[in-house]
A and B are shown apart, each in its own frame.
Chain A
Amino acid sequence: MINPKWQDDEWIKRFRTEKTQEQAFRDLIRHFQPSLYAQVRRICPTHADCDDILQETFLKAWIHLKDFRGEAKLSTWLYKITHNEILNYISKAKNRNIAISEIPDLSGNSGFTSEEGIELIQKLEQAIELLPPKQKLIFCYRYFEEIPYSQIAVIMGVSEGSLKASYHHAAQKVEAHLLNG
Chain B
Amino acid sequence: MVKLSPLAIVLSKMNWQNTPLPENEQFPLLEKLKGQLTPLPIPEGYDAQFENRVMRKIQAVKKFNARPKIAASIFISMAWISSAAACFFLTFHLSSNPTSNLANNPEMAYILEELHLTSEEELHEWINQNNQEITQEILLNELSEYELYTE
Where chain A touches its partner, the secondary structure class is: helix
Q: Is B99 an interface residue (CB 8 A)?
A: no
Which of B26, B38, B57 contacts A109, CB < 8 Å? B38
Are the C-beta atoms of B30 and A117 separated by less than 8 Å? no
A30 close to B (CB within 8 Å): yes
Question: Could you mark each residue 39-60 of chain B with 1 if its beta carbon is under 8 Å from any beta carbon of chain A, else 0?
Answer: 1111100110011011101100
Within 40-88 of B, Cβ neighbours of A (below 8 Å) are at 40-43, 46-47, 50-51, 53-55, 57-58, 61
User: How many Å from the CB of B78 to the closest CB on chain A?
Assistant: 22
- Given the interface contacts A29-B51, A62-B58, does A110 sit within 8 Å of B30 by beta carbon? no
Which of B34, B37, B57 neighbours the largest number of chain A CB atoms within 10 Å of its CB?
Answer: B37
Q: Decide: B61 and A63 in contact? CB cutoff 8 A.
A: yes
CA distance A14 to B29 in the complex (A): 45
CB of A121 to closest CB in B, whole Å: 7
Q: Mask for B3-35, Cβ within 8 A of A = 1, else 0?
A: 000000001001011000101101101100111
Apart from A117-B36, A124-B33, A172-B26, list 11 A-B contacts with CB within 8 A: A29-B50, A34-B42, A41-B40, A42-B40, A47-B43, A106-B37, A109-B38, A111-B38, A160-B16, A161-B16, A175-B29
13 residue pairs bridging A and B, Cβ less than 8 Å apart: A22-B55, A25-B55, A33-B47, A34-B42, A59-B54, A59-B61, A104-B40, A106-B37, A110-B38, A124-B33, A167-B21, A174-B30, A175-B26
Residue of B nearest to A27 (CB): B51
CA distance A51 to B57 in the complex (A): 14
Q: How many residues of B contact A (CB 8 A)?
A: 34
Shortest distance from the beta carbon of A50 to any chain B beta carbon, whole Å: 9
B89 beta carbon closer than 8 Å to chain A: no
Indicate which residue in A25, A142, A144 contacts B37 across the interface (CB closer than 8 Å).
Answer: A144
A99: interface (CB < 8 Å): no
A residues adjacent to B (C-beta < 8 A): 22, 25-26, 29-30, 33-34, 37-38, 41-42, 47, 51, 54-55, 58-59, 62-63, 104, 106, 109-112, 117, 120-121, 124, 142-144, 160-162, 164-165, 167-168, 171-172, 174-175, 178-179
Residues of chain A with a CB closer than 8 A to B51's CB? 26, 29-30, 33
Whether A51 and B50, one on each chain, are in contact in the complex, defined by CB atoms closer than 8 angstroms, is yes
A142 / chain B contacts, CB cutoff of 8 Å: 23
| Chain A residues in 8 Å Cβ range of B14 | 161
Q: What chain B residues lie within 8 Å of A171 (beta carbons)? A: 23-24, 26-27, 30
**Given contacts A121-B33, A174-B30, A175-B29, A168 and B54 within 8 Å (CB-CB):** no
Closest 6 CB pairs of A and B: A161-B16, A111-B36, A175-B27, A178-B29, A110-B36, A58-B54
